[in-house]
Amino acid sequence: MAELQLDPQKIPHHIAIIMDGNGRWAKERGENRTYGHSQGVKAVKRTVEAAAEFGVKYLTLYTFSTENWNRPKHEVNLLMKLLVKSLNKEMDSFMENNIRLNTIGNIELLPAKANQKLQKVIEQTSINDGMTLTLALSYGSRDELIQAIKKIADNVKNNIISSEKIDESIINTHLYTHNLPDVDLLIRTSGEHRISNFMLWQIAYAELYFINEYWPDFSKEDLKKAMISYQNRERRFGKTSEQLHE
């Protein structure tokens, strides 16, 4: 049977991934969660490089949610250290693969060292114009929407925006993702079928793809299968099939 191939004319413009299952992956192997997170970093590298190779223009990874701050302190500290270590290690790869780093979320809550390193890599990769890799850090979609509503309310109060003029475009410009297009394909690993407060506004018309593999096992081939599934779907955006083919 011939191997399925990606259609280069139908590559999803923006892929977002909920990277789930590091802890369970480690537990099933008799290891602690620390080991699962360290192996998850390897999956990030594989996925980023594969997405760039496949021609994806925007890749967003749910790296650390607002709810993750409630995890045990030692685990949070480990995740922050892994973030800094990964950014240091992958800088050359970002430049070689023409990848621009971006971030969304309330990054002011990150430890100073992690925040400073993040900003440095963002600045150094800003000259790249290939794929944009966005790390969602200290991110929660409800928090994002609350902050956007507050900003819009202040602008209305100060007569900068008329309430009658508020539309999707106005809301988009006040979101963390104001410099990103809407998500075309959302992938979640580990067999869970929920969104977990991730990009609720941006995935309004995204195709959803759930896979049973835990994140540390996610491979280049898994990404390819998800993209092929996306390419085989009919995206109607509220229209009928007949309207799309008129």
Angle at 128 between CA 111 and CA 113, to 5 degrees: 10
For residues 58 and 135, the answer to whether their CB atoms sit within 8 Å is: no
| CA–CA dist 18, 199 (Å, integer) | 10
* Catalytic residue selected from 68, 155, 172, 197: 68
Asked if 20 is an active-site residue, the reply is: yes
* Catalytic residue selected from 7, 20, 154, 222: 20
| CA–CA dist 92, 146 (Å, integer) | 37
> Looking at residue 232, what DSSP letter applies?
T
List the strands of the sheet with 14-18, edge to edge: 100-104, 132-139, 58-65, 14-18, 185-188, 207-210
Asked if 182 is an active-site residue, the reply is: no
- List, by residue number, the catalytic residues: 20, 68
